[in-house]
């Protein structure tokens, strides 16, 4: 038992000493307990929420959904802009091979802040599932949906605590751009039936998701090949994460659009 305690102490000391001093004391980053505890509560609600709603009428949450989706469109739009300004539009940044800059350089600090805001958005987006369950739209609470929403905050807690910059930017830039489109769709859908004829492009959101994860796998593989000074443990985890999403989104696309079209024929 004493040996286990000593190992835990050693791990804690290592975790503290290798954390990024610019982000390690920020809310939800200073300790894993809050973030991982929130995800645990989320999973508990996914499990018990439908039981709670079983004999109740669905909540009418349109009053909440419109501003909520509007905020997430603006939030992701701002994050996307910040990533563009600190990476692709920054002459001193290599989009292909870039280690984390841990300095207090203004641009490096701005990039770390963008990573933090992206991480926070993943916590806020847990509300998506809560809304689905309270509205009794449980068909939308698929394994893919829960897997994605539960794992993103946990993955990005690690990213923001230890590597807020460098190669981290790529997946977050793509994801924030796609989420602008996705929450714009949700915003328009929340307005009411009169906009339904203009929402024909939903299937292309799934296509964008598939392209996103394929691009992440390719980009991360190049970073490993070029030895970019970015932790390979995180790179490998990101590749495996991307593969899992391609399989899940690919299956969703096949079940939702390909097979349904075949049945109609």
Catalytic residue numbers? Answer: 148
| Residue given tokens 């439908």 in the structure block | 50
Specify the 3-state DSSP secondary structure of 31. Answer: coil
Name the token pair of 114.
Answer: 């963008």
> Vertex 107, ends 239 and 169: CA angle to 5°?
15
Of 28, 4, 29, the closest CA to residue 162 belongs to: 29
CB 69 within 8 A of CB 187: yes
Q: How far apart are CA 103 and CA 251, in angstroms?
A: 43
Helix (H) or strand (E) holding 181: helix 168-191
Of 213, 211, 237, the closest CA to residue 224 belongs to: 237
**Which residues are within 8 A (CB) of 6 and not within 5 positions of it... i.e. 6 or more apart?**
none
Helices and strands (H, E) in the chain, number of each type: 10, 0
């Amino acid at each position: 038992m004493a040996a286990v305690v000593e190992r835990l102490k050693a791990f804690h000391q290592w975790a503290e000493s290798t954390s990024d001093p610019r982000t390690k004391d920020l809310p939800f980053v200073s300790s894993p307990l809050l973030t991982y505890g929130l995800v645990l509560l989320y999973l508990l609600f996914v499990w018990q929420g439908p039981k709670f709603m079983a004999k109740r009428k669905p909540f009418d949450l349109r009053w909440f959904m419109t501003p909520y989706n509007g905020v997430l469109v603006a939030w992701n739009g701002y994050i996307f802009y910040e990533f563009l300004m600190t990476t692709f539009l920054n002459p001193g940044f290599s989009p292909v091979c870039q280690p984390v800059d841990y300095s207090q350089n203004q641009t490096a600090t701005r990039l770390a802040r963008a990573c933090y805001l992206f991480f926070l958005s993943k916590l806020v987006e847990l509300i998506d599932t809560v809304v689905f369950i309270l509205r009794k739209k449980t068909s939308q609470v698929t394994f893919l949906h829960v897997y994605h929403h539960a794992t993103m905050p946990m993955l990005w807690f690690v990213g923001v605590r230890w590597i807020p910059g460098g190669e981290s930017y790529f997946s977050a830039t793509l994801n924030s751009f796609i989420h602008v489109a996705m929450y714009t769709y949700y915003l328009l859908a929340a307005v009411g039936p009169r906009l339904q004829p203009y929402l024909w492009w939903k299937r292309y959101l799934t296509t964008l998701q598939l392209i996103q994860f394929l691009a992440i796998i390719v980009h991360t593989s190049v970073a490993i090949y070029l030895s970019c000074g970015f932790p390979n443990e995180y790179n490998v985890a990101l590749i495996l994460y991307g593969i899992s999403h391609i399989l899940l989104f690919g299956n969703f696309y096949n079940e939702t659009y390909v097979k349904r079209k075949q049945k109609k024929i």
